[in-house]
Amino acid sequence: MNFEGANSPSYYVSVTNFIERYPNFLNWTPGEDWKVYQVGPTFKYPQSVHDSQLYAYNGVFMELFIRKCLCQKFQQPLMDRFTERILNNNSYENCEIKLLLTASYLKYIDPKFDAIDIVNEIKIVAMSQRLTFTEQMENVNNVMDMEVDYANLRAIQEFINSLPYDRLTYKQFCELSCEELILIGVPDFIFDDSVILQVSTSMRPELYARKCSKMFFYTLAHYYENYYHQNLKKQYTLIVYNPLLGIRYEMTININADLFRGVHSSLEKCVKILPKFTDPTMCDHYTIM
């Protein structure tokens, strides 16, 4: 996807890594425009998450659980690209994780199984992400022993059942060309082509500025892909859902072609003065979160 007037892009960079390296260039600090809603009970991390430092795994598990519930609600096929990458990789042919994943993943994507009834299988599917990044088995026993608060999971299901939308897309690549660079990202969920929802599992009650910056990027990329060329104005609702605290942060923004061009021009000016990305993992589609 080339923006008019931009140079031919030569490499991809995940928006996550871009923001981590240059936080000021997509700086969108949360402010008074974000509304906060208490949509469920507040929970704490299970003790095993603290003991084994499984915060990242717990977050992945939560997103996979939510994805399963949403696909059931919207009667949509379910998949996970990290798991499918491993299952289709011959180098894992005799790997223990592949044997575990095969049976667990089949249950995960089967609409006959309710998410709350296959918690252990979702834990195993969550390990795919770590294995993709490290190429080795690590903390498998800790992950399998990770405690899960079923009251928290039921509260998540209640929240999902309350969503009023008609259509769902999930983990869909979006990209935005900026000079020689293509920023790429993967929003968690998009409803009705206008509501972007990200899952953020944390005990922190405030929004992270970087999370907001990613949301803004997803909005710009989605607008360009679907509405910019028709010179249309589009209203988006941005939602960050924290299933641990039972909080929904929400903002409504309006984008038109003039606003998009202004933001995109500023971003391109920033990109011109940045050092080149030399780390090859920055361009790996599988490192995008």
Domain ranges within the chain, ordered by starting residue: 11-38+166-275, 47-161
- Beta-bridged to residue 177, according to DSSP, are 182
Reading phi first (left if > 0) and then psi (alpha if -120 to 50, else beta), residue 46 is in: beta
- Beta-bridged to residue 168, according to DSSP, are 191
Q: Hunting for tokens 């509501």 — which residue is that? A: 195
DSSP 9: P
Q: pTM here?
A: 0.88
pLDDT in tens, 25-79: 666 554 458 999 999 999 999 999 999 899 989 999 999 999 999 999 999 999 9
Count of CB atoms within 10 A of residue 124's CB? Answer: 22
Longest dimension (CA), the chain: 55
For residue 13, the one-letter residue type is V
d(CA 249, CA 90): 42
Of residues 24 and 251, more confidently modeled: 251
d(CA 165, CA 167): 6
Note the pLDDT of residue 281.
44
Over 80: is that where the pLDDT of 191 sits?
yes
